[in-house]
Structure 1
Amino acid sequence: MFASSARPGRFARAVASSLSRSALGALLMMGSAHAAPTESYPLPPSSSRHEARIQQARAFAQELLKGKQLPGLSVAVAHRGQILWSEGFGFADLEQSVPVTPLTRFRVGSVSKVLTAAAVARLVEDGRLDLDAPIQKYVPSFPVKPWPMTTRQLAGHLAGVRHYADKDEVIFKEAKHFSSITQALSLFQDDPLLYEPGTKYTYSSYGWNLVSAVVEGAAQEEFLRYLQRSVFEPLGMRHTLADHAQQLIAHRTRFYANGPMGTHQHAPHVDNSYKWGGGGLLSTAEDLVVFGSAHLQPGFLRKETLALLFTSQKLKSGKETGVGIGWRIGVSAQGRRILHHRGAIEGGRTMLMLFPDSQLVVALLSNTYADFAEEQAAQLGELFMAASKPTPP
């Protein structure tokens, strides 16, 4: 373990009471009458000093649920590692009228990339991963290309590895299962690079498949096991795991697509084993804000490592890309500095947004492919900004 790894327990303790309340409430709700889609769960304590903001945020979430025709929605907001608000809206299962709770697990899509980036960071801190070494150092089976590529370039979408293409649709429709990270590389490893690494920016989830293989090689440990041991367990993220299609997973939502005239239908069946590190994980809103909170100050990661994650990479021309190691770096419409990533996947939409200057973190998760993202997360964060101001002496 790293010398700096003793502090992650603080983030776990910060949310322990919230998780306990959520678990108890979930048990009570399971035995109650079905909730209406516009009702939320659980209600915060009436004595909460954030009650006024929570009431505004609840109205915002209910409008989002209705306006985007979402089957279900889970929201959490944290400040300095403490969860201010966590609530579920609508249904995790429309047919059985099962309500969303803070324990409901959603597909997080490409937010999986920043979770994987934390595993990369741990290996860098441990001196086991050189971001600028050719990736064959860690994945010797990957074919050599006309130009070398590095983990840093892959993590910033600068390596020239392609994204999804029409020829992949057969694999996706068949829901083919891949038994290992390296087996899944066969989807793209023989394809030519789109350009010389470092000369252009092209978003690539397949590039993060390769990052996952690098993690395995550097850690000398199976990717999902290392992710669990080095990231999820230290942070107390007890509800985050791979979306194994054939396994029974407690509190996993059903996945939906929007149909005609405001209706819903089941999303196509998928097997996400081809992209664990790039888009194949499940999580909860509470786990995601705990994860985000751990990135706002040194502790889980060192100060210099956080700077590495959140510093924009540059093309060989010198132009900044606005992406660090996985994370997107930007400014909200309200003019606040933000660190963020969204996920869009069959049956899921997720947004994780960090406001580093305010030490605030927002997570939004839904069980359908919808078009909410940065704008809604930033608006929700604004409702809690007063809570993030330093207390006067």
Structure 2
Amino acid sequence: MMEKKSTRPISVFKTIVPILVIILSFSSCNKKKPENGPIYNKAFKQVILDARKDLATHMITGFTPGTSISVSVDGEIVWSEGLGMASKELNAPVTRDTKFRIGSSSQLFTTFLIAKLQEEGLLDLDDSFYDYIPEFPKKDFDFTPRMLAAQVAGFPESSRTQLLQQDLKIRTLKDYISEYENDPLVYEPDTYYFKSDYSLALLGILAEELTDQNFSSLIRETILDTLKLDDTMIDSQLSIIPNRSNAYHRDFIARLVNAPSVNLAPMAPALGFLSTADDLNKAAQQILEPGFFNQESIDLFHEPYQLRTGQQLNSSFGWLATVDRDGRKLLGQAGSTVGGSSAIAVYPEAKLVVSICSNLGDDMDELPVLKIASHFLKQIAPLPADTLGTPAE
């Protein structure tokens, strides 16, 4: 006769399983929220809800896959969030850690570097560029580092077509400089404004010449590490970069497609950085008041540039410098490149900074940074009802 098997192991198992479930339930309740989770300051609850609707509407109407937003008031992040998809193919959501191509907002870091080099006494912004790099091919007119940063040095306007058709032999910043160094100026310096990638690239080469270090190392040591901008770096096609968003583009009939491959590293000082909305926000806070920079540098970023013709521009040392429709002082950045875009609005009097990043390179629909800022301004710096206007777009 077969012996009856013991049921003890089964009964023990039945006892242990419920206990484990209870323990795991308690442990999951005690888990901390992910560090890259959204930030909502309750004091701005309604403002955030209103602004979030505007941002969502922009994404829907513009078919934007993914966006991140960061808003700070007096140095404190009050709203930070990722919306949409970093990768539509992998169904990967945008988080606060998602890195985007930021386009010409990259000049923020280049002008920061040049300002620090001036603070250290390594250059004078009004010296001739040839005082520092005499071997650079002579042009018909002289120009200065200040003119390069203000983009009034006579170099041609940037071209998206040129970027897409860039020769494969252009792999470094020096390659890019050498490729176009014999081209003539297109206007007399200090008489006109052209947004020129080449002007910012020349500032990158100037920084390398002054310090005998490569641009990437200089930016990392002087700016990014000091400010703890851990999610900002120069883009690289070959490197594995955690949390880098996919890049998207519109084709000739405005369909959303994967962006064409492009090597932005040779043009890093002008448009080659990856960053997050939080890092851009933290960087922009440095121009609110002296701290990282001295007052001379703060003034450099704040004061509109005046051409020698007497015309005052609505830009300064690498920044938009103007007023909005309500007369508030406004400093800003806006950058779009293949597969990415960004925008920053800084209201110094209100100590408000709004930064947005997107994985769609789009010159048709600007990121709604001023519209988002207007919601917060109504709470932190309201205008009298008789002067309240509509924010600039």
Are residues 297 and 245 of structure 1, via their aligned partners in 2, closer, same or farther at CA, if it must alter by over 3 Å?
A: same
Are residues 262 and 191 of structure 1, via their aligned partners in 2, closer, same or farther at CA, if it must alter by over 3 Å?
A: closer
Are residues 116 and 389 of structure 1, via their aligned partners in 2, closer, same or farther at CA, if it must alter by over 3 Å?
A: same
Are residues 137 and 158 of structure 1, via their aligned partners in 2, closer, same or farther at CA, if it must alter by over 3 Å?
A: same
Q: State the partner residue of 2:134.
A: 140
What TM-score results when the alignment is normalised by the length of structure 2? 0.84
User: Of 107, 118, 124, which residue of structure 2 is paired with 1:113?
Assistant: 107
Cα distance in 2 for partners of 1:260, 1:149 equals 39
Secondary structure at the counterpart of residue 275 of structure 1: helix
Are residues 175 and 88 of structure 1, via their aligned partners in 2, closer, same or farther at CA, if it must alter by over 3 Å?
A: farther
Cα distance in 2 for partners of 1:203, 1:362 equals 23
User: Of 291, 305, 309, which residue of structure 1 is paired with 2:301?
Assistant: 309
- CA apart distance, 1:211: 1.1
Q: How many residues align?
A: 350
Are residues 174 and 112 of structure 1, via their aligned partners in 2, closer, same or farther at CA, if it must alter by over 3 Å?
A: closer
Q: State the partner residue of 2:92.
A: 98
Cα distance in 2 for partners of 1:56, 1:175 equals 46
Matched-pair contact (CA < 8 Å) for 1:71–1:90: yes
Secondary structure at the counterpart of residue 384 of structure 1: helix
Identify the range of structure 1 (183-192 vs 233-242) with the bigger mean alpha-carbon deviation.
Answer: 183-192
Secondary structure at the counterpart of residue 177 of structure 2: helix
**CA shift digits 1:211-246 (9 cap, x unpaired):** 111111223221111111111111111100001111
Whose Rg is larger? Answer: 2
Secondary structure at the counterpart of residue 66 of structure 1: helix
Matched-pair contact (CA < 8 Å) for 1:175–1:271: no
Superposed, 1:363-382 pairs within 5 Å as 363-370=355-362, 371-373=364-366, 376-382=368-374
Matched-pair contact (CA < 8 Å) for 2:336–2:342: yes
Matched-pair contact (CA < 8 Å) for 2:287–2:301: no
Q: Does 1:68 align with 2:62?
A: yes
Superposed, 1:268-287 pairs within 5 Å as 268-287=260-279
Q: Does 1:125 align with 2:119?
A: yes
Matched-pair contact (CA < 8 Å) for 1:175–1:270: no
Q: State the partner residue of 1:154.
A: 148
Superposed, 1:172-321 pairs within 5 Å as 172-173=164-165, 176=168, 178-259=170-251, 263-321=255-313
Are residues 365 and 141 of structure 1, via their aligned partners in 2, closer, same or farther at CA, if it must alter by over 3 Å?
A: same
Structure 2's unaligned 5+ residue stretches are 1-31, 383-393
Cα distance in 2 for partners of 1:284, 1:157 equals 25
Q: State the partner residue of 1:31.
A: none
Matched to 1:287, the amino acid is: D
What TM-score results when the alignment is normalised by the length of structure 1? 0.84
**CA shift digits 1:273-301 (9 cap, x unpaired):** 22100000000000001011111011010
Matched to 1:70, the amino acid is: T
Q: State the partner residue of 1:345.
A: 337
Cα distance in 2 for partners of 1:269, 1:190 equals 27
Cα distance in 2 for partners of 1:56, 1:155 equals 37
Cα distance in 2 for partners of 1:224, 1:387 equals 40
Q: State the partner residue of 1:78.
A: 72
Q: Does 1:55 align with 2:56?
A: no
Secondary structure at the counterpart of residue 317 of structure 1: coil
- CA apart distance, 1:127: 0.6
